[in-house]
Amino acid sequence: EKTELTAQKLSTAVYAALRAWRDLQALRASERGLEQVIHASTTMLEHEATSGPQRIILEQLGQLLGPHLAGFVTDDLTRTAPVPQPAGATGQTQSSISKELQSAIDLARSSGEHQFGNNHYVLNFGRAHADEALMFVGHDVPLSVLDTNLLRLFATNVTAMLQSMDLANDLSEAQMEMVYLLAGATESRSHETAAHVYRVGLLAELLARALGLDEKQCELLRLAAPLHDVGKIGIPDAILNKAGSHTPEETTIMRTHAEIGHHMLATSKRPILQLAAEIALTHHERWDGGGYPTGLKGTDIPVSGRITMLADVFDALGSRRCYKEAWSEERVLEFIQTQRGAMFEPVLVDLLLQNLDRARAIREQYPD
């Protein structure tokens, strides 16, 4: 067969092989691009809270388009920041953009849609609760069909991810607002300020971080601790707001608020409310076993209850109540130190004293 090859047949075979190689390279490039688009979504979910979306999107664009990435990012077309440039990139600033690109930017702003040109594109990632973010990345060479298609897929994917993040944030914020409203309503009924429950949440978070709990535990504790006294909603006003000391019978009734709060919250499937139920039940348990309602002792008391008890007492003693005036900080600290190993876990008392400046700042930032 080889002896029958003519120059024309050889040329045809070479061209066919080159076209096949070109198509294979295009398929490989497409595969790499799709992998990068998928990777971008995962990266945004993992790092959006800490790094912010603009930086992550630009980093992923750089990986998607390679060494020709250059341009700027802007949120209102008056402030711009250069795109981080990979090796070999050339920069472009807002002052040097063409009329064609300016028109694309204006159209992206007015329509809310991404715009694509032969050698430029404008990605508009507007968010419901954030300033509009217009991102432009210029190319030194015309965009190929593959580049444009990957960009469209990338932009659609990122837009969907941002919308999902915004929805999740909306739900989380609504849940937080409901927690603080419920906790604040309970405190208001007992003639205490809503600032107390907010401070208790922040103080509990402070102690949790000092103790070395992980980020998720600290965040949940900050949100759940404000509901520690929600069971007081079931205590009669005459007992709840009594100015003097309680009788033994009244004390027994008052102490039922721990179990009432637990019963109110325990049926929820939400992690925040599950933790809040645990806190409501255990935040009056003492380290020495002399607390209520079940007399738990030491580490048998959930760490959430141990932390919230100290945070609650530290803040409550320093605040005015219907049955007492606010204590001085010196008196509060003296009491807490005398109760180290009795009411409070010793390690937590030590951590509070080590972080006293931060605890004091919380009380000063959110006064009654």
Q: Which residues are tagged catalytic?
A: 232
Q: What is the rounded distance in angstroms from the CA atom of residue 213 to the CA atom of residue 207?
A: 9
Token look-up 């019963």 returns 263
Quick one: which of 170, 204, 367 has its CA closest to 276?
204
Quick one: which H or E segment has residue 361? helix 356-365
Q: What is the rounded distance in angstroms from the CA atom of residue 300 to the CA atom of residue 286?
A: 10
β 121-124/115-116 pair status: antiparallel
Q: What count of residues does the chain have?
A: 368
Token look-up 């004293």 returns 353
Asked if residue 240 lies in contact with residue 254, where contact means CB atoms within 8 angstroms, the answer is yes
Please state the φ and ψ torsions of residue 71, each to the nearest 5 degrees: 155, -145
Q: What is the rounded distance in angstroms from the CA atom of residue 101 to the CA atom of residue 307?
A: 57
Q: What is the rounded distance in angstroms from the CA atom of residue 123 to the CA atom of residue 137?
A: 8
340: three-class secondary structure by DSSP:
strand
Q: What is the rounded distance in angstroms from the CA atom of residue 160 to the CA atom of residue 44?
A: 11
Q: What is the rounded distance in angstroms from the CA atom of residue 24 to the CA atom of residue 29?
A: 9
Quick one: which of 183, 318, 323 has its CA closest to 241?
323
C-alpha 58, offset from chain centre: 21
For 126, the token pair is 């507007």
Torsion sign over Cα 25, 27, 28, 30: positive
